[in-house]
Structure formats: C-alpha cells, structure tokens
Structure 1
Amino acid sequence: MMLAYWLAAAACLPTVVYAAAFWQYRHHWLKLSRAADQPQVPRVHALATEEAPVVSVLIAARNEAANLPLLLTDLGQQTWLQQGGRFEVIVVDDHSTDNTAAVVQAAAANSPYVLRLLRLAEQPGQPAGKKAAIVAAIAQARTRWVLCTDADCRVPAGWLAAYTQAFGNPQLQFVSGPVLLTGKGLLAGLQGLELAALVGTGAASIGAGSATMCNGANLAYQRAAFYEVGGFGGNAHVPSGDDEFLLHKMAEAYPQGIRFLKHPEATAHTAAQPTLGALLQQRVRWASKWQHYRSAASRWLAVLVLAANVCLWALVGLLLWHASVWPWVLAGWGLKLGADVAFLNPVLRFFERRKWLMLVPLLQLVYSPYVLAVGLLGLRGGYRWKGRQMAAKTTEIPRSATV
C-alpha cells in the first residue's frame, strides 16, 4: 500500500508544477495591456512621412483561389484606408495548380490599395514552400514593416489600424497577433479551444520575457530585423516554422523588442480543419519542427505539458491497481483541470468564446489518443500539405498548452 501511495504522490508532482506554471501564465496574460485601451498616437501622419506605403502585407498562397477573394476584400475594407493610410499587399503564388494568380490579377485591377503578384516559379534560385515565398516577398517589399497572414484567413476592418498603432513604438521589432479558429460542431470547438490555449500561452510567455510560440497567420516584424537575425537561415530545410523559429531568433537579438498585440481588432480568423484526418495532418506538420528549436523555454514547456498529461493517466493506472489511491487521483486531475480553467477563462473572455470552457474536460480525455495518433503519423516519415508530400524527419508530441 505504501508503494502505491508513493507512486501516486510522484505522479501528482508534474501536475503541481504545471498548475504553478499556468497560474503564472495567467498572471502574465492579465498583465498584458490591451492595445485598445492605450492612448492613440497620430498613426497615419507620423508614419507616412517616413515611407509610402507604410506596411507591406505578405500572403503566401498555394491553390487558394477560393479563399483569397475573401481576404483581399477584407483588406479593401480596412479603416486604415479611410484614415488616409497607405499599404501594399504582396501575394506570392507558390506553384499553384489552380487559378490563384488570375484571382490576384483580377483583384489588382480595381484594388483600393497596391496589390502585387509574385510567382515563386519565376524567382531564380527560390525553392518551393512558404518560407521561400516569404523571403521572396520581403525582398520586394518597399516598407519598414511587413505584416504576414495566410491566404485562408479573414481579418476585421480594424486589423491594420491596430497594428500600425504598434508600429509607432520605435523599440519594437516583432509583433505577434491573436488567431481565432472558426467553425461549427464539436471538432471545431475542440480545435478552437486548443488553439486559444496555444495563443494565450504564447502571449503570456512574451509578456514574461521568455517567448515560446506565435502563429504565422498573424505576425509582423521589421524587414531590417529579419535580415539582421539571418532570416530563416539555419532552419530553411524544415518545411514549417516560419513563425516560431523567427520569434526565437528575434527574442534573442531584441529581448525588449517583442510584443503580443492584445487587441480584438488585431485578431485573424481562420477555419478549423473539417475532418479528423485533416487535423492530424496539420498537427504532424506543426510537430515536425520541435526538435530543431534552440529555445530552452519552448522545450521546457513542451516537456512539462507532456509530463502532466502522461501522469494523469498513470494515476488512473494506479487507481486500477490499488483503489485506495483515489484521493491522489482526484488531486492530480483536479489540479490539472483547475489550472486549465483558471488560465483559459480570461483568454477565452478576450476571444468571446467562454462557452468553450465546457469542452476542457472532454479535450483532456481525448488528448492522449490524439497525441499517440500524431506521434505514429510522424514516425511514418512525412505528411501531405497543400497537395505536396513533405518529409518530416523529426516528430513532436503536440504542444497544446493546457491539455
């Protein structure tokens, strides 16, 4: 009996550390000032004197003819335009097999902003892939700041205005923005909850001064800083990671120059994966980059989350072996779920999705088989994305921050 108690106590230890860590993350999330509550600065006139246009929006697109018109329309409805602001949009066609290029050309004819098309196939020495597309776009951009989003995203009317307010801070080099998943049904809700946890954790880690993660669907940085840190050099061979690898480099070079833009209008929206198969392929793609990280904070967080989840099911196994350890099982699960709810409550309030809190226990239950499935798919040696077969030489347990 004593052995069972000692094992149960040891299994609870990671959940105690996890709960303490995410209580601190909650603290740092709450300390992040909402940009919407800060004093406004004379954005247009202060920035427009330096260069015109003020910002370049970069969009890497592969077979996005169906989605691009929606995003380009959103950009044409920006309040930044109504304020007299100027910006350019550079769409890079990454070897599309549909009429993505034709869609961009047609939109450019009547666009209220400067819209340019680059064909990656016509760029000498450039391989295929999102990183290559971004590199090509940055080389052609005519502005100090570049703002990246994905072709299948939607952005609110105040998106550019929120970012350009941040650009007025001369200390900033890199700005990470919030991303919200949209969709109906249980699968979409579970995905939305997981991504909200990741976004919240990334934002809190930036606030704590130990940046771990961001999302390439919504981030901005100075072109000069991109070149200063060597761009994607050192990890260009990894298909994904155009966001977090760069974040880690920027945080190392400019520890005071990283910010999370906690502004509702800065939120990019993207659709949840429609099927479980598509979700697993996406997560394997995300997982392929972890072992290339140099960030100790990112590795520590991944290990902590994995250990806390493994230990929960170890407690269940101990309960089946020795029923008398049930208080330890309740304590372990209670700490884990309590920490998740405490952290996610203000994050989901920001996203206006507090109803997702009800899904926390369910996501905790399905997380272990989900992790196993992603791990096995990763061991298979690759994944398909955007119609391409990609090599994935390394794998990672998915780093959902709270499940």
Structure 2
Amino acid sequence: MLIAARDEAAALPQLLEALRLQTLPAALFEVLIADDHSADGTTALVAAAETTPFALHLVALPPGATGKKAALAAAEAQARAPWVVCTDADCRPGPSWLQAYADLLLSSTHPLLHFVSGPVRLTPGGAWFDGLLGLEFAGLVGVGGACIARGRPTMCNGANLAFRRATFHEVGGYADNAGLASGDDEFLLHKMHQRYPAGVRFLADARAVVDTPAPATLRALLRQRVRWASKYPHYRTAAPRQLALLVLGANVSLFVGLLAGCWPALRPWVAASWALKLGADAWLLAPLLRLLQRRRWLAWLLPLQLLYAPYALAVGLAGQRAQGYRWKGRQVR
C-alpha cells in the first residue's frame, strides 16, 4: 500500500488504526508511507509506530524531490507486491477495504486487470453545505464509475485506487506529467486504459468504500476544486473533455431555462427539461448512495441543481486562469 504524506501528523494515527483493523491478514500486505519533507513530526510519528501488525516502512524523499507524485513514485519503487493500493494520509478505509481488493484481484474472472478505481465518500467537515457537497462528490464518483463501465474512463480518486506495478512502469508512471501537482490518479487511469482498454474496473463494493474529509470552509472547497480544474488543459484523451463540456452545457442550459420561464409559452418546456434532468440524476445517484450508505443526501438534489451552474462556471474559469495555487504550504502549479 502506498501513502503520500506531508504534514499529516494529526491524521496519520487514525489511518494507521484503520489499517490495524483490516480483516485481510496483516502478513499479506505492507504499508509504505512516503514523507514529503514534513515539518510537523510526521516522520517521527511513522518511525515510532512499532506496534503495527503489518510491515510499515517510512520512505523519505531526497532533497529536490517534492509533491505527491514524487512521493508515490518513491514508495512504489520500494514495494514488493505485484499490485499496490493507494489512499491518502487523511482518509479512513473500512475494515474490509483491502479484503475487497484482494477478492477482486484474486478472482479468476478478472485476470487481465491493470487498474481499479474504488468508491470514496465524504465525511462532514462541519460546514453548512456538507449535504450539498456530499451529494455532488457522490455524483463525481458515480459518473467516474459509469464511464469506466462504458469503456471511456474520465475520472477517479487517488484516495482509493489500485494498479499493477508492471503496467505502471510500462506506461511511464508519472514521468510525462510530473510537473503538475495534481493528476496522480486520472492521468494514470487514462494511460493504462489506452494501453489496456479492457483492464480498468470500478470496484462497486460497499466494503471498499474509503472516507475522506470534506473541506470545512467555502474557501477551502473552492481552492480544492480550482486545483482539480487546473488539470483540464492537460488531458490527452477526449472523454474527460467531452464529459466536462456536456455537464457544463447541460447545467448552464437549465439555469438559463429558469430565466426563459418568464415567457409563459416556454414554461412547459422548462419544466419538462428540469424534470428530465432531475429524474436522470436521481436514477444515477440512487444506487451509488445505497453503496455509500448515504441515501439521505438525495434530498439535496434540487438545491444542488440550482447552485451548480454558477458554481461550475466559476470553478472552471478559475481553473483555466490559475497560474498556480497554494497546496500543503507550497506554491505549486
């Protein structure tokens, strides 16, 4: 298992405890934590964690090597298993998380897998928009899983994925986008799918859900989404671009439709468009929310739809214009 960590001393004890509780026998996995020049005691915390039932290794990045991709690559270079599973230092997997991956990878019906994307669920950050954000994030996970199932992968989440190490090296790892701070997950997904179109899978298993903390403030949320959006110009496959334009166009059209509703003759068409969009979203989200055990989030569907067009436009434009951003105490691009 690979974990990149920078200044995560507050979060790592909870992650290590979650890994201690894994139902997969501890002798069957090892954990490699790559410390990205932390200044808060992360290194000492990992070095002092001597009571873990699984093999735990600290990987220190050399001077000049920085960022999540460099950390993951350094940890991968010291791994011994043919497959690695990745999560983030502030995440919390359930007790059967690794067992769910093991069951899939050991299954004789999936011998040609190269990349597996897993489900991620937001935990409340204490903000008023937690429900809205949880539903929106679930939608991203659902769309990513559906696109993988359709053979046109668009997105995944580095908080929960696995890949075959030999294929990682075959496609060049992170070398062709090492200069970008974001995208350790999606760029790798796209490259592995291009090389092995039938080798990508979404793990729709409730045991495989990983919890990740939601941004606690609106400012933190916008910073996160601008960072994500900054990857858009660097995509080399058509599917992510097409999906982004489709989602943005559909939501902006609905928003404009509200203004068009000022003309009585157009109101039935506007109402039908909204009903069709909300019905399609509910149909997509319902099974995913069951998987995530968060069915109550569906109540936020209408408020999310009302807010999504201006939000998506603002984030998309900011992401295209961004020359860099602050992340983990660093100025990156």
CA contact (8 A) 2:9 2:42 kept: yes
Deviation string 1:122-155 (CA, Å, 9 cap, x unpaired) is: 5xxx521001111111111111111100000001
CA contact (8 A) 1:90 1:118 kept: yes
One-letter code of the match for 2:279? G
CA distance in 2, matches of 1:333, 1:186: 25
What's the counterpart of residue 172 of structure 1? Answer: 113
Alignment counterpart, residue 12 of structure 2, candidates 68, 74, 98: 68
Matches within 5 A, 1:83-94: 85-94=27-36
Deviation string 1:322-346 (CA, Å, 9 cap, x unpaired) is: 3321111111211111111111111
Alignment counterpart, residue 247 of structure 1, candidates 184, 189, 200: 189
Moved more, 84-93 or 367-376: 367-376
- Structure of larger gyration radius: 1
Moved more, 162-171 or 347-356: 162-171
CA distance in 2, matches of 1:176, 1:316: 37
What TM-score results when the alignment is normalised by the length of structure 2? 0.94
| Structure 2 residue 302 is matched with structure 1 residue 358 | no
What's the counterpart of residue 226 of structure 2? Answer: 284
CA distance in 1, matches of 2:273, 2:57: 54
What's the counterpart of residue 229 of structure 1? Answer: 171
What's the counterpart of residue 260 of structure 1? Answer: 202
What's the counterpart of residue 209 of structure 1? Answer: 151
CA contact (8 A) 1:60 1:134 kept: yes
Secondary structure of 1:127's match?
A: coil
Alignment counterpart, residue 101 of structure 2, candidates 147, 156, 163: 163
One-letter code of the match for 2:73? V
CA contact (8 A) 2:32 2:57 kept: yes
Secondary structure of 2:129's match?
A: helix
One-letter code of the match for 2:190? H
What's the counterpart of residue 87 of structure 2? Answer: 149
One-letter code of the match for 2:310? P
C-alpha distance 380-237 of structure 1, shift in aligned 2 (>3 A): closer
Alignment counterpart, residue 72 of structure 2, candidates 128, 134, 159: 134
CA distance in 1, matches of 2:136, 2:190: 22
What's the counterpart of residue 23 of structure 2? Answer: 79
Alignment counterpart, residue 344 of structure 1, candidates 285, 293, 311: 285
CA distance in 1, matches of 2:113, 2:318: 39
CA contact (8 A) 2:156 2:186 kept: yes
CA contact (8 A) 2:118 2:204 kept: yes
Secondary structure of 2:138's match?
A: helix
CA contact (8 A) 2:127 2:216 kept: no
Structure 2 unaligned residues grouped into runs of 5+: none
Q: Give 1:380 deviation, angstroms.
A: 4.7
CA distance in 1, matches of 2:310, 2:7: 32
Moved more, 173-182 or 332-341: 332-341
Alignment counterpart, residue 374 of structure 1, candidates 286, 299, 315: 315
What TM-score results when the alignment is normalised by the length of structure 1? 0.79
CA contact (8 A) 2:114 2:163 kept: yes
Deviation string 1:34-81 (CA, Å, 9 cap, x unpaired) is: xxxxxxxxxxxxxxxxxxxxxxx1000010000001101111111112
Deviation string 1:167-214 (CA, Å, 9 cap, x unpaired) is: 214211111111000115541211111111111111111111111111
| Structure 2 residue 270 is matched with structure 1 residue 329 | yes
One-letter code of the match for 1:143? A
Secondary structure of 2:101's match?
A: helix
Q: Give 1:269 deviation, angstroms.
A: 0.5
CA contact (8 A) 1:76 1:113 kept: yes
Secondary structure of 1:234's match?
A: helix
One-letter code of the match for 1:65? A
- Between Structure 1 and Structure 2, how many residues are aligned? 328
CA contact (8 A) 1:238 1:288 kept: no
Q: Give 1:298 deviation, angstroms.
A: 1.4
What's the counterpart of residue 272 of structure 1? Answer: 214
What's the counterpart of residue 51 of structure 1? Answer: none
Secondary structure of 1:102's match?
A: helix
C-alpha distance 85-170 of structure 1, shift in aligned 2 (>3 A): farther
Task: Tell me the C-alpha RMSD between the 2 structures.
Answer: 1.5
C-alpha distance 268-105 of structure 1, shift in aligned 2 (>3 A): same
Q: Give 1:85 deviation, angstroms.
A: 4.0
CA distance in 2, matches of 1:381, 1:173: 34
Moved more, 57-66 or 188-197: 188-197
CA distance in 2, matches of 1:375, 1:223: 33
CA contact (8 A) 1:345 1:357 kept: yes
